[in-house]
Structure 1
């Protein structure tokens, strides 16, 4: 069996230093950036590695997988909007369009609002007698 390295509890001074570095990162406004390679974030990563909180402090570059997924999603929405506009031009309601496109009624309504497409509505109320 491989030996697991046990993390040693940091001293009070080390904990205070780590907190100061954390405060510097928060003050710089880099709290939501996972792949930041600025000097402040690098120093914090090195300190965390020295204290045993982190095993590898190398900054990884974000993969293009998420950007590609976002582009595919936007492209799919645009294609759906074109199909929806064609069906709306035929006078179909959102429920009928959703049935033909195999999408939900809420998704169709949201796309209609975003791309400013007017959908037909069924007349409600009492039917006229004769």
Structure 2
């Protein structure tokens, strides 16, 4: 078996330097950018590799797989909204629409709120005993 390299606990100075680099990245506004190759982000990546948090210094570019999945998700939501609007026009409730479309009731309600579709509701209350 290959021997696993044990990560050494960083010194206080190394931890402070990592925190300074993290603060610099936050000040630059690159917190939501995973694949930034600016000097500030590269310095943070090098410090993380030095401390043993990362195995590779270079920041790789993402594949287009996630963009494709996001587009497919949006297209499916739009198709679901069109189907839901036609079923809501027939006077069905969210539970009935969810049953016909094989989707959950909460997903139907969330789509209805986003696309501003009015859904029918069942009348609640006591029945008259006449």
Counterparts of 1:72 and 1:108, CA distance in 2 = 18
Shift of 1:52: 4.6
Using a 3 Å threshold, how does the CA distance of structure 1 residues 32 and 76 change in structure 2: closer, same or farther?
Answer: same
Two-structure CA RMSD over aligned residues (Å): 2.7
Counterparts of 1:121 and 1:8, CA distance in 2 = 61
Using a 3 Å threshold, how does the CA distance of structure 1 residues 5 and 93 change in structure 2: closer, same or farther?
Answer: closer
Counterparts of 2:111 and 2:4, CA distance in 1 = 53
1:103 aligns to 2:123 (yes or no)? no
Alignment of 1:51-130 (within 5 A): 51-128=51-128
1:30 aligns to 2:65 (yes or no)? no
Counterparts of 2:127 and 2:12, CA distance in 1 = 80
How many residue pairs are counted as aligned between the two chains? 130
Counterparts of 1:128 and 1:10, CA distance in 2 = 75
Shift of 1:24: 2.2
Tell me the TM-score normalized by structure 1: 0.77
Shift of 1:119: 1.5
Shift of 1:5: 5.7
Counterparts of 2:105 and 2:8, CA distance in 1 = 56
Shift of 1:60: 0.4
Return 5+ residue gaps in structure 2 as ranges: none
Cα deviation digits, residues 50-75 of structure 1 (max 9, x gap): 45543321110122222211111111
Return 5+ residue gaps in structure 1 as ranges: none
